[in-house]
Amino acid sequence: MPTDYAFNYTAVIVAAGFGFGGIGFTFILSRLLAPKRPSLMQTIAYECGIIPEGQGNTKYNIRYYLFALFFLIFAVEAVFMFPWVVVFLALPSSAFISMMIFLAILIFGLAYAWRKGVLQWR
Amino acid sequence: MNISDYISIFAIVFVMFNGILGSVLVVIYGERKVLARLQQRIGPSRTGPWGILQTLADAVKLVLKEDIRPQNSDRIIFYLAPLIIFTPIFMLWVVLPFGSGLVLGDIDLGLFYVSALLGLSVVGMVAAGWSSNSKYAMLGSARSAAQLISYELPLILSILSVGLFAQLFTDNPFNLSSIVNAQAGLPFIFVMPLAFVLFLIGGLAETARIPFDIPHADEEIVGGAFVEYSGIRWGAFQLSEYTGLITMAFLASILFLGGWSGPFSDKFVWLQPFYISSKTAFIILLAFWIRAPLPRLRIDQLMAFAWKAIIPISFANFILVSLVVFIGDRISLPIFQIQLILGLLNLISMIALAYLLTSRRKRRLAVYRERWGEK
């Protein structure tokens, strides 16, 4: 049976619509049914009962950015691996060897970062 | 594409949506009951017979609860965030097969689609945390982003190793139906148990379940990214979390446990959805069971576990699988022998890893005893 692209991707779009629409419907239902009596104390950000100081969007540890950068490297590498995985048995052996070299460079990079203490959470 | 196609798509997606809502109710009830039994309690027992209507009552209560938006929060993003989290997980169900031919959209690049949509939930978490204008929510979303991106790599690598091995059976290795067909003889869990364990760990972390629930950490940041949400919007977060759990279990049963195949599944087609849902239920039960006795990992332990243990192991697993498959295919070994070799190598490496981890623990315990005495 040939794959019917139009059918499949229409199904994907319909599912996205149902995901938004179905949950949105419950939100509308809640807006119609729930009471609405806003007061000042209600809308203050929750910090275990203490009135919050300063901005809500505070600074946080720089480490998160470092790990995000790492993830970016590995995610891009995974993008390269997907097409290779689909066809690698049909390709000549050089494709396999070059992918192994690619992975070796990546793992060397991870080992270097580990050695330099980047992965240490301080 | 004619009008009846559109109507059938709408009908199937509608049924699927309601089925997911219903199964989430059942799973939440099951979790409360199983967890209660594991902790020597009874659990919900008052609402309906054996308390089975408890989650329904909770859902009705959530709809009737007042919806609060904190001051200075970003209105549009705040309202959109629950939808952004739920929709990608629901869109996954389009490609998941319940039986042979019993699938809505049989996309060729099913695995690619799955791993693309799994990566999207981090956007919703960060949006929720950032738009709430609250410190706890901000911290929770930062932790959540760090955890989700760290544990996505082992997940992707174990998914890819399934794709690698399915190459031996079919020239369409990313299609979920052909992956299940490839496991008709032997489910992949016996061939690569290491990849299954990695997938399970990654799945637990992606759905932020104990021991990987530091982004929600009820005792310190009171719920993390969705601390400011109330009423049905909070319910939408819970819904997407449990939908994520069910989806992960379903994916694990498709990729590793042989999907719909089982005894007599070829002869009696009606057995196939039963098989796949019981495998899914088994993995969900495993997640509850893991939840009961384990404590929560700290954020530094969590990141160290991801980057120093799980990611190197999953790279090693990926390289091992690709080497065995490639060499086995080039010297044209029969598939059974490739399965045997890969399974044995996996078993050996798992035992070696377990030995390494326990010896490290013993060393640490010795240091601890030297410092603090017997305890």
Burial B159-187 (b: 16+ CB within 10 A, else e): bbbbbbbbbbbeebbbbbbbbbbbbbeeb
For the segment B16-29, the average pLDDT, to the nearest whole number, is 91
Look at residue B375 in the predicted model and tell me its pLDDT.
53
Nearest to A26 among B79, B94, B232 (CB): B232
Question: Domain ends where: B64, B84, B102?
Answer: B64
CA dist., res. A69 & res. B68, Å (int): 35
User: Which residues in chain A have their CB less than 8 angstroms from residue B77's CB?
Assistant: none
Q: With an 8 Å Cβ cutoff, is B90 touching chain A?
A: yes
| Residues B351 and B271 grouped into a single domain | yes
Contact criterion met (CB < 8 Å) for A110 and B67: no
Interface contact flag, A89 B64, Cβ < 8 Å: no
- B344 pLDDT band (50/70/90 cuts)? confident
Residue A121 included in any domain: no
Domain boundary among B64, B82, B100: B64
**Burial environment of residue B129 by CB neighbours within 10 A (0 to 12, 13 to 18, 19 or more):** buried
The CA distance from B339 to the nearest CA of chain A, in Å, is 16
Q: Does A61 touch chain B (CB under 8 A)?
A: yes
The total number of structural domains in chain A stands at 1
Residue A122 lies in a domain: no
CATH of the domain at A91: 1.20.58.1610
Residue B91 shares a structural domain with residue B60: no
Using a 10 angstrom Cβ sphere, with 0-12 exposed, 13-18 middle and 19 or more buried, the burial of residue A77 is: middle
- Domain match, B144 and B254 both: yes
User: What ipTM was predicted for this assembly?
Assistant: 0.86
Which residue does chain B place closest to A37, by CA atoms?
Answer: B66
CA gap A82, B157 in Å, rounded: 10
Average pLDDT, chain B: 86
- From B129, which residue of chain A is nearest by alpha-carbon distance? A57
B185 and B266, same structural domain? yes
Interface contact B167-A85, CB threshold 8 A: yes
Q: Based on the fold, state whether residues B14 and B73 are members of the same structural domain.
A: no
Same domain, B103 and B52: no
pLDDT band at B231 (very low <50, low <70, confident <90, very high): confident
The pLDDT value given to residue B199? 92
Residues B198 and B255 in one domain: yes
For position A2, what pLDDT does the model report?
Answer: 42
Q: Cβ contacts (< 8 Å) between B87 and chain A: which residues?
A: 16, 19-20, 23
Number of domains in chain B: 2
B250 has pLDDT over 90: yes
In B93-209, alpha helices (H): 110-118, 121-131, 135-166, 176-182, 188-191, 193-206
> Is A103–B63 a contact, with Cβ atoms under 8 angstroms apart?
no
Give the one of B62, B66, B153 whose C-beta lies nearest to A35's C-beta: B66
Return residues 64-83 of A near B (CB < 8 Å).
64, 67-68, 70-71, 74-75, 78, 81-82
| Mean per-residue pLDDT, A26-33 | 88
Checking if the pLDDT of B188 tops 60, the result is: yes
Domain range for residue A98? 5-115
Residue B284: its pLDDT value, please?
A: 92
Query: B136 and B14 share a domain?
Result: no
Q: How far is A11 from chain B (nearest CA, A)?
A: 6
Rounded distance between C-alpha atoms, residue B240 and residue B304, angstroms = 27
Mean local confidence (pLDDT), B230-236: 87
Q: Are residues B245 and B368 in the same domain?
A: yes
Q: Does residue B136 sit in the same domain as residue B30?
A: no
Contacts of B225 (CB under 8 A, 6+ apart): B125, B126, B128, B129, B132, B137, B140, B141, B144, B215
| Residue B52 φ/ψ region, left for φ over 0, alpha for ψ in the -120 to 50 degree band, beta for the rest | alpha
Pair (B148, B276) in one structural domain: yes
One domain, residues B367 and B296: yes
